[in-house]
Amino acid sequence: MEKGFKHLKDIYNNNCAAEEIFNKTCDVLLDAPGKNLSKHVKWKELKGLSKDKKDLYPIAIIGKGSPIILLHGFDSCFLEFRRIVPYLTNKHMLIIPDLCGFGFTPRHSEYDYGIELILLHINKIMDTFSEFKTFSLIGASMGGGIALEVARKNNKRIHKLLLLSPAGITGEQKKVTPPLDKLGVCILKNKLVRNYLCRQAFADPKKSVGKKEEQIASIHLNVPGWGEALASFARSGGIAGCGTPQPNQPIKVLWGKNDRILTNSQTNLSKTILNCPHEELEECGHLPHLDQPERVSSIWEDFYLN
């Protein structure tokens, strides 16, 4: 196990490697909406985060109108939003980053990957789009908890929040100590484990999950530093306790009635903590934006306009 991680460290700071792997990977994407979205990825230098002009971060940018930043879940990437994008681009500019330490972002051995670095990353993205005074946020799963943190720390820059089966609302951070951090990474890299988790995220895996979905669920695993950054994230304690104090901005939360990732107790406690409108979607699992993209986009537009 240590030998494998030593290899990752040897290539950890190769800033161009993530982009090269991204280009090769997207050439063989099986999912048509995902492949189309990948063509809209721009690689940005983020001052205060990038180490030099070659140290670039991927952001999918598509559509015109008021800006929405979409925040993906744990160990995922921008492709998570591939199905909802077509329903939102007529009225909004969608800004869909890979969160720092996830997806195809470059990794650096001296960085501590956790909530503070992710928040810095999102702030730098907003700085990049200086033509906009405010942004709305759509956060899915872990991205929902992160969205609350972003809104709380950026009261004047964030307009509205839509949370999709948000995780990290309850509890306290629990730091994972070595060697359990690396053991967890090894488990998450196992193909059978990843395919199982992919299936669990959908309401009806027999209908909704095939080779296209399984490919996207594991598509970023070969990015240099993936394992080390994930282990660092585990050591940081991850995302937890983001529900309080509640931000001042308008918030709406959507839950999948057939969610098999979050427990009923987690969902119910989150509903109690978040004093805002909640709606439960039929035939929907942990990923409303994948199970019910048209419905979610319609709910968003009603929420945004009122």
**Per-residue model confidence (pLDDT) at position 17:** 80
**Per-residue model confidence (pLDDT) at position 196:** 97
Residues 6+ apart with CB under 8 A from 241: 168, 169, 170, 171, 172, 173
Residues 6+ apart with CB under 8 A from 196: none
What total number of domains does the chain contain?
1
Assign residue 258 the CATH number of its domain: 3.40.50.1820
**Per-residue model confidence (pLDDT) at position 58:** 97
CA 210/CA 230 separation, integer angstroms: 26
In terms of Cβ atoms closer than 10 Å to its own Cβ (0-12, 13-18, 19+), residue 241 is middle
**Per-residue model confidence (pLDDT) at position 13:** 45
- Which domain covers residue 152, as residue numbers? 2-305
Give all strands (DSSP E) within 53-196, no chain letters: 57-62, 66-71, 92-97, 135-140, 158-164
CA 87/CA 193 separation, integer angstroms: 32
Q: Which residues does the chain have with pLDDT short of 50?
A: 1-13
**Per-residue model confidence (pLDDT) at position 213:** 98
